[in-house]
């Protein structure tokens, strides 16, 4: 499929993340007393769906759904409504349609908000190369993968209240840390603060029974970039036997634009070849991963940005649909607005690793930035930016940026 | 403090769970077209707070808060409003006040609903004897406690969507299980389905910064009984390295009545002596555990109930306030309606263990029920009931029952 042209000129560039082929959904705040509301990105503009709904240009069959600061109401309506909306918006914004400049707002003039109310957040560990790297660092390459890893999309429940939108500062956490040579921990600011490059799948339909992989894929509304900030030293001391807890609870940053499954359809790709046959309930009925180029950039305080990793969504071993199917096996009820983190996405090359833990090999091989500074883990003032785009024929379906700046830990977390 | 008398006669018995000293909060559905609403238990009756509010008998200073099927709106109002409400309700129901029989509904005539909208659910592992027992079963008594256990209230995030109210059937889950002698798992119904006797703390105030133990205690609205149903075989295969996931996601049952911190105040008690000095942020400024007798009863399908365990809330090593303080160390935002499971509460005696895993020592020592049946783990048709009460001078502050019946696994979870 080639680039589809829009009457919004900036959407017709091969470089924009947001051509007519994409149409990602977000929530924006234009300030000046207006309420945050739903919009769709087109080129460097936003089409105001709340205004369009009020003017009768968009209609999903009844009650208003775009005058709220989240997409949960639209998700509730289900896949037919999702398809209907995409079709209506495509028609309104396509080249040849009557231009509606009064319904556009410049992206540069707004603040992007969380696109959904996160019901619950689950984080997976579904990247083969990441799991191998982390396992190799801590247990050696022979024992890198846990015995269950090739059978189960390993996941754990995260903290929905800690999910924030791109642009939110992330404060270095305090926690219990134990020095390698110490018997007992101290309570201190994290010293090994890290990022994790992930994709987030947004669940748009509820279920209270086990679902097949196909049903799971049908429940997914779209995808965002996701940075699972991780306190490695807190995690190392706390995670046995019940898993990561405070190490992952400071913040998880997502990009503000939900790229829909429909926009990504041309980029579907199968998961990698199985090293162990999957149990039938996890087998893919068709390609459910996506060919999306991903990168991580780091900018020290006041300094220029350096790309420190380049990888691809297709490096995952389990798709979000497989993860979601597994998530329901126990009868666990899923809800509209659930967010699934994919797990860190690393490739096989050294510069395709999705975390500093891997890039610096746990601090043994610090990265050198162009200015001569080195990084084993994140420093205060560092700004991290994830980017991602699927490359089409003369166009790209992009995710925009997922950015967060690390700010210093509190001097005393209990000072009031 | 002795029994305080009420004009509701059934509340004046030394045997009732719900004397005037208690006044626990719940949500009930009286059927016949009425909407589920807030009420307070008194003897064998419920005082209808929604009706009382409508009639101007109860007033928390403005907008109605009792006409909804949850206590979250009241919790939002904060501790002063909580104290005000308790004072108003105590005055209305005390002996000598004008009787209001038209505002009472018999508990026997209603269906109890979830008392809160659970924001997020966290489960802890704060029982010293439980952790020792489980560690002994799997690693031997020398290595029973993980190195961090005496320093950290170990916890993991659970699944809020799976929390159900007492009386809800619990369906045996499917999952990945690996037989002891097998290399690879099968997908099958759980064979080692278990209960866990816990208390649940209900968080009534939000926070987005680390809180002290005292601040944490102030944020707690009240307590419920909690049964953390656990699929031991699913857990054994899945839990490394990121903790329990589907093993704990089938259901968690809570009792319908929130016993407030105020009602439990006379029963406060300190946590047990520390075996390792705690880091300062975790030290208790005063007694924050409670002397509450607890028991677990099991009734096979069609059979009589047998008490299989008797223990006490004070057996925990970390209080809910300590757990909550730890939960916020990373900056993790807490929300009104968060639920913290205490962890399984076992005593030192064999018949004070809070799970079948411990009671049957992982199936090596099955329990024999009076009818001659044995139990290593739960069978289909078993009804489990948790009960709890603090014993005062001629009265008790009880929690009512927390009940759930195990029903058979689906024949085929994917049949539609």
Dist. CA B270–CA B291, nearest whole Å: 9
Structure letter (DSSP) for residue A379: -
Average pLDDT value for residue range B364-368: 97
For residue B247, the distance in angstroms to the closest alpha carbon of chain A comes to: 7
Superfamily covering domain B121-407:
Fumarylacetoacetase-like, C-terminal domain (3.90.850.10)
Give the ipTM: 0.97
pLDDT at B371 over 90: no
How many Cα atoms within 13 Å fall on the side-chain side of residue B408?
4
Which of B245, B248, B252, B322 to mutate: most A Cβ within 10 Å? B245
Q: Would you say residue B121 has pLDDT above 90?
A: yes
> Which stretches of A80-162 are assigned E, i.e. beta strand?
104-106, 111-113, 121-124, 155-157
CATH code for B9-113?
2.30.30.230
A120 near B CB under 8 A: yes
Residues 35-54 of A with CB under 8 A from B: none
pLDDT value of position A1: 80
Known binding residue B29? Answer is no
What's the maximum distance between 2 C-alpha atoms anywhere in chain B?
A: 71
Lowest-confidence pick of A103-107, A180-184, B108-112, B335-339: A180-184
Q: What is the C-alpha separation between B36 and B173, in angstroms, rounded?
A: 30
User: Three-class SS of residue A156?
Assistant: strand
Tell me the residues of chain A between 386 and 415 that have a Cβ less than 8 Å away from chain B.
410, 413-414
Query: Are B162 and A332 contacting, i.e. CB atoms less than 8 angstroms apart?
Result: yes
CATH number for the region A135-407 comes to 3.90.850.10
Q: Looking at the predicted structure, is the pLDDT value of residue B137 above 90?
A: yes
DSSP 8-state symbol, A277: P
- Whether A5 has its CB under 8 Å from any CB of chain B: the answer is no
Contact B134, B79 (CB under 8 A): no
Helix (H) or strand (E) holding A396: strand A396-407
Q: With 90 as the cut, is the pLDDT of residue A62 above it?
A: no
**What is the rounded end-to-end Cα distance, in angstroms, of chain A?**
58
Instruction: State residue A108's pLDDT score.
Output: 98
Query: Which residue ranges of A are tagged as binding site for substrate?
Result: 125, 139, 235, 239, 344
Lowest mean pLDDT among A92-106, A218-232, B8-22, B134-148: B134-148
pLDDT at B134 over 90: yes
- What would the mean pLDDT of A20-29 be, rounded to a whole number? 98
Q: For the purposes of burial, counting CB atoms within 10 Å of the CB of A408, is it exposed (0-12), middle (13-18) or buried (19 or more)?
A: exposed
> Which residues of chain B are within 8 Å of residue A238 when distances are taken between CB atoms?
148, 152, 154
Range list for CATH 2.30.30.230 in chain A: 9-113
Which residues of chain A does B245 touch, with a Cβ-Cβ cutoff of 8 Å?
Answer: 154-157
Rounded Cα distance between A56 and A70, Å, is: 20
Contact B175 A234 (CB under 8 A): no
Contact flag B125-A176 (C-beta cutoff 8 Å):
no
Structure tokens at B353: 């263990």
Query: Strands B111-113 and B121-124, how do they pair?
Result: unpaired
Question: By C-alpha distance, which of A167, A220, A391 is closest to A293?
Answer: A391
- Is residue B62's pLDDT more than 90? no
For residues B323 and A386, give the distance between their C-alpha atoms in angstroms, rounded to a whole number. Answer: 34
Given a cut of 90, is residue B32 above it in pLDDT? Answer: no
Q: What is the pLDDT of residue B1?
A: 80
Distance, CA of A236 to CA of A245 (rounded, Å): 11
Q: Where in chain B is the domain with CATH 3.90.850.10?
A: 121-407
Residues in a beta bridge with A391: A396
Q: Is the pLDDT of residue A311 over 90?
A: yes
SS3 B21: coil
Alpha carbon B316 to its chain's center: 14
Active site residues of B: 130
> In this structure, are strands B37-42 and B25-29 parallel, antiparallel, or unpaired?
antiparallel
Range(s) of chain A covered by CATH 3.90.850.10:
135-407
> Could you tell me the CA-to-CA distances from A270 to A38, A267, A274, A288, B316 in Å, in that order?
32, 10, 11, 6, 49
Query: Which of A119, A157, A193, A277 to mutate: most B Cβ within 10 Å?
Result: A157
Six-digit token string for A343: 């797990």
Give the tens place of pLDDT for each residue, B236-274.
999 999 999 999 999 999 999 999 999 999 999 999 999
């Amino acid at each position: 499929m080639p680039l589809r042209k829009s009457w919004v000129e900036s959407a017709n560039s091969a470089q924009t993340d947001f051509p007519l082929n994409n149409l990602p959904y977000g929530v924006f705040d234009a300030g000046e007393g207006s309420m945050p509301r739903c919009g769709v990105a087109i080129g460097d503009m936003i089409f105001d769906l709340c205004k369009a709904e009020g003017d009768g240009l968009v209609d999903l069959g009844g009650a208003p759904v775009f005058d709220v600061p989240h997409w949960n109401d639209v998700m509730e309506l289900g896949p037919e409504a999702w398809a209907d909306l995409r079709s209506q918006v495509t028609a309104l914004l396509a080249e040849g349609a009557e231009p509606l400049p009064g319904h556009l707002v410049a992206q540069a003039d707004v603040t992007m908000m969380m696109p959904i109310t996160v019901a619950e957040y689950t984080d997976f560990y579904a990247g083969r190369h990441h799991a191998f790297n982390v396992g190799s660092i801590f247990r050696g390459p022979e024992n890198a993968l846990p015995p269950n890893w090739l059978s189960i999309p390993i996941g754990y429940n995260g903290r929905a209240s800690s999910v924030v939108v791109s642009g939110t500062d992330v404060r270095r956490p305090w926690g219990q840390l134990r020095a390698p040579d110490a018997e007992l921990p101290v309570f201190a600011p994290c010293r090994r603060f890290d990022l994790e490059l992930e994709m987030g799948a947004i669940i748009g339909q509820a279920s209270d029974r086990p679902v097949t992989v196909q049903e799971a894929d049908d429940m997914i509304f779209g995808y965002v970039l996701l940075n699972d900030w991780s306190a490695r030293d807190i995690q190392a001391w706390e995670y046995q036997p019940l898993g990561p807890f405070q190490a992952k609870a400071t913040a998880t940053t997502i990009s503000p634009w939900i790229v829909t499954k429909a926009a990504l359809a041309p980029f579907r790709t199968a998961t990698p070849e199985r090293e162990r046959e999957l149990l039938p309930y996890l087998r893919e009925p068709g390609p459910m991963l996506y060919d999306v180029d991903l990168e991580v950039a780091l900018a020290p305080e006041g300094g220029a940005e350096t790309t420190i990793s380049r990888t691809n969504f297709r490096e995952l071993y389990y798709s979000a649909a497989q993860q979601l199917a597994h998530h329901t096996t126990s009868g666990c009820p899923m809800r509209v607005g659930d967010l699934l983190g994919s797990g860190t996405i690393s490739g096989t090359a050294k510069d395709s690793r999705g975390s500093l833990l891997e890039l610096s090999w746990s601090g043994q091989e610090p990265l050198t930035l162009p200015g001569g500074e080195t990084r084993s883990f994140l420093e205060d003032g560092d700004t991290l930016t994830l980017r991602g785009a699927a490359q089409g024929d003369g166009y790209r379906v992009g995710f925009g940026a997922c950015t967060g700046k690390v700010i210093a830990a509190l001097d005393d977390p209990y000072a009031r």
